[in-house]
Structure 1
């Protein structure tokens, strides 16, 4: 059975929505999705707020109860009938995220066993046929095929194959 490794943030969990919610809470300003085109969230805010935004990632609770990326649950469940699925998240940089990410996965992806959840730094250690991720840097030393999942920050990246949503993942892999 072939293996698919799937990133969490901006692939199955909507981190940009969480940034937007917290930014609006803290600064009474809403960042529109159109303002994120070609940018990370921190690049879309005023310069004096950028360090505050970066600190969100190190704040307990940031990764708790994020919205699920539309279509991911259904497509991943269908993929799991044909492939061995692993969730691979580069969480080592954000130690406060571990418990919340694990609990989030148990709630939203209960069909993925704990043995198939990998908290890592360098994703090149993952032995899989495919890696679905929103960062091309994770494909550099990955031995399988990287599949770029479109997110506002990567719209200008040149990578093939690229998918824009989970229906495109289904068309590519099912």
Structure 2
């Protein structure tokens, strides 16, 4: 009987995919604004946008998520992690049901080495049975039974309750040393 490998669950948006970059691009175009990541220190786009929470309308377009940029080094590090860990992608897609197909297609295009059986679309990530969860939202760790690892994003820079990684090279350092 083979040894059981530890499991790492990984969020997609703002951890693997540059969702905020695309949102900023669309928002600045649609509202003739010039917001940058620096304007969002400790905040979400909806907190500083002229239109407030209306920025979430971008998620209503099923194609919005389809052409997101892959965050630097994520593909290479996740592939390497698969050699030592069981990897799952855990996306809170229930918050935006129209996103299922686009998220799945994006993952199959950019992370084709992750089996479909290891892609989980859910709401509350506490249902995920993993040893670690890499996510940009600290609230996902509150009921998660494993260890939460906070992936730095502009909205979570002031969060101090969890171990943090700032990029995929730091993920590699944490899990592949």
Q: Please classify the TM superposition score into its range, dividing by the shorter chain length.
A: over 0.9
Cα distance per residue 1:36-62 (max 9 Å; x no partner): 11110111212xx11321222223222
Aligned-CA RMSD value: 1.0
Give the aligned partner of residue 139 of structure 1: 141
Cα distance per residue 1:93-145 (max 9 Å; x no partner): 10110000000000100100000000000101100010000011111111111
Segments of 5+ residues of structure 1 without an aligned counterpart are none
Give the aligned partner of residue 76 of structure 1: 78
TM-score, normalised relative to structure 2 = 0.94
Segments of 5+ residues of structure 2 without an aligned counterpart are none
Give the aligned partner of residue 153 of structure 2: 151
Aligned residues: 172
3-state SS of 1:168 partner: helix
Runs of 4+ in structure 1 over 2 Å off: 57-60
Find 2:38's aligned residue among 34, 39, 51: 34
- Structure 1 residue 27: Cα displacement: 1.5
Cα distance per residue 1:55-96 (max 9 Å; x no partner): 222232221110111110011011011001000000011011
Aligned mates of 2:6, 2:40 — CA distance in 1: 35
Aligned mates of 2:56, 2:151 — CA distance in 1: 22
Aligned mates of 1:86, 1:60 — CA distance in 2: 23
